[in-house]
Homo-oligomer: A and B are copies of this chain.
Amino acid sequence: MREAIAAHVHDGDTVAIEGFTHLIGFAAAHEIIRQGRRDLTLCRLTPDLVFDQMIAAGCARKLVFSWAGNPGVGSLHAFRRAIEGRGAEALEIEEYSHFGMVARFSAGAARLPFWPLRSFMGTDLPRVNDRIRTVACPYTGEPIATVPALEPDVAILHAQRADAEGNTQVWGLLGVQKEAAFAARRVIVVVEELVDTAVVRADPNRTLIPGTIVSAVVVEPWGAHPSFAQGYYDRDNDFYVGWEEISRDEGALRAWLDEYVHGVADRAAYVAKHPGLVERLSARPLVCAGVSYGY
């Protein structure tokens, strides 16, 4: 992980760490914090705790997003402090709806300069974000909303498994992982498990990201905690709930970063600092039947 982040994430980069509630790349984010990256433009539909931590750590210059809350719990307080101008250094924001962000990644992945969608009419979003525009349909003449392509310098995606070439398989919630990967100039895939290429080839319909577009593969079990990895471990809801109190207080948040991010060398050490984590969250097996690719 250390090498992958050092090689592919630079100060000032536009960085997408995707994974919608599922497979959020916390391990990679923590390594970025440890390496002291600055002036990043952070892109995610849901900044979630992962970007709240990076904002608190001072990595972010700008945030591109569509829903900035603590899912099922409440606020992202580091984010709010930065926006509500209470002491924290100001944070530039560029805001869309979820569909708007999905469309931005879709355009980037398809190397189109824009993506059309029926949205935003009647809302105040175009008023505060002039990158939301419209085109006239060449057939009906009606105005259709557009968003510009998002092409991150680097996309970091967590997944269940990949082979050494980066052929990556994901199941359960897929979010916009595929679109973010194809939209980015460089792709870091972080996996729970490294598997032989034969495992990938045995079920090619499960492959979400081809190795041909992957820059680095990092094996990092529990790398998505406190989010979840279907088939590997459950969401750590206690952690999300607990974040409310930690993040409310700048000092407590700094102390948390010192202990759990700066204070550990890597993910293994982070897991070791959470006694009972593995026992508490490890998934019980629920294996589906395979299908036949025979002919």
**Residues of A102-126 contacting chain B, CB below 8 A:** 111-118
Number of copies: 2
Q: In the complex, A286 Cα to B131 Cα: how many Å?
A: 50
Interface string of A128-162 (1 = CB under 8 A from B): 00010111111110101010100000000000100
Contacts of A287 in B (CB 8 A): 290-294
Option from B160, B228, B289, B291 in Cβ contact (under 8 Å) with A231: B291
Residue of B nearest to A137 (CB): B113
Q: In the complex, A125 Cα to B286 Cα: how many Å?
A: 52
Residue of B nearest to A205 (CB): B171
Known A-B contacts A138-B133, A205-B206; A230 and B293 likewise in contact (beta carbons under 8 Å): yes
A21 to chain B minimum Cβ distance, whole angstroms, is 12
Q: Indicate if the CB atoms of B138 and A292 lie closer than 8 Å.
A: no
Residue of B nearest to A229 (CB): B295
Q: Indicate if the CB atoms of A202 and B148 lie closer than 8 Å.
A: no
Option from B140, B146, B148, B288 in Cβ contact (under 8 Å) with A293: B288
Q: In the complex, A34 Cα to B106 Cα: how many Å?
A: 43
Q: Indicate if the CB atoms of A138 and B135 lie closer than 8 Å.
A: yes
| A242 lies within 8 A of chain B by Cβ | no
Contacts of A90 in B (CB 8 A): none
Contacts of A171 in B (CB 8 A): 205, 291, 293
Contacts of A284 in B (CB 8 A): 294-295
Option from B136, B137, B139, B230 in Cβ contact (under 8 Å) with A295: B230
Contacts of A172 in B (CB 8 A): 205, 293
Most buried by B among A140, A199, A235, A286: A286
Known A-B contacts A114-B116, A144-B113, A205-B172; A293 and B231 likewise in contact (beta carbons under 8 Å): yes
Question: Apart from A135-B138, A283-B295, what 18 extra A-B contacts exist at CB < 8 Å?
Answer: A111-B118, A112-B116, A113-B137, A115-B116, A116-B116, A133-B138, A134-B138, A203-B289, A228-B295, A230-B295, A231-B291, A233-B295, A283-B292, A284-B294, A285-B292, A286-B294, A287-B293, A288-B293
Q: Give 7 pairs: A residue, B residue, CB < 8 Å, sorted on A.
A: A112-B118, A135-B138, A171-B205, A202-B288, A206-B291, A230-B294, A288-B290
